[in-house]
Amino acid sequence: MRIWTNGCFDILHRGHIEMLAYAKSLGDYLIVGIDSDDRVKKLKGAPRPINNQEDRKKMLEVIQYVDHVVIFDDDENLERSIKNSKAHTMVVGSDWEGKEIIGSSAVSRVVYFDRLRDYSTTNIIEKVNNDIRI
């Protein structure tokens, strides 16, 4: 069974790895979609991404849980990528519960993954910036 998940995956951290392991446990083929550099800039602001899309793609490709990585530029491209993946299940963060999820109509089920504590790229960037200022 094919599983889909997506995100920026800008600075990989334990929360990403745990979510990818969980997603892979739901099927036998995990497809990860990543936001293009332009899309990350639009969503997160000018200093992002920290790592460019090719570097982010390469880092994900070497993780044992990940079978395939695709880059998408916009909502239409994301939805098309999910449809083309022929995924059965989509894994998204629990912070998306109750919100519209692009591509959810292309899968049989959506599964929510609870974030691990304070693991987030934004928190990592803030911590690094605060440590530098000291």
Residues annotated as catalytic (active site), given as ranges: 42, 44
Distance CA 60, CA 125 (A): 20
Q: What contacts 100, CB < 8 A, 6 or more positions away?
A: none
Distance CA 111, CA 70 (A): 20
Distance CA 52, CA 71 (A): 11
